Amino acid sequence: TFQNQPCNGALVVFHPLAAGRENDPKPVGTTRDDGTNSLTTFAEDDGAPEGEYAVTIVWNVKNPKVKFSLGEGGGMMDKLGGRYGNPKQPLLKATITAQENNTHDFDLK
């Protein structure tokens, strides 16, 4: 959620933190209308392997100041201002365990 509202269409990526796992596939998902998502690593909605992750979230929306753009970014902007998009300096982290139904709620400011 962002300002107590679901982030519909935000890209969520889990970046492995364990040494030697930097080049592993990154679990990724896009949030639904209600703000939830399911991660995909190898097959659709298969979740994420066990481990520690830096979490990035980028919520690209149309920039109201751009009428038309063919250039880089296509007139889009990160509604979160890039605050949650740097995996090298993550503001969000998550741990995935072997238990069923790992869930993580991120209340973005």
pLDDT tens digits, 31-69? 999 999 999 999 999 999 999 999 999 999 887 666 655
Q: Tokens in use for 40?
A: 């995909």
Q: How far is CA 34 from the centre of its chain?
A: 15
- Residue ranges in 14-90 assigned as alpha helix (H): none
Q: Tokens in use for 32?
A: 């639904």
pLDDT tens digits, 6-40? 999 999 999 999 999 989 999 999 999 999 999 99
Q: How far apart are CA 78 and CA 41, in angstroms?
A: 24
pTM of the shown model: 0.88
Q: How far is CA 75 from the centre of its chain?
A: 20
Q: Tokens in use for 86?
A: 């740097």
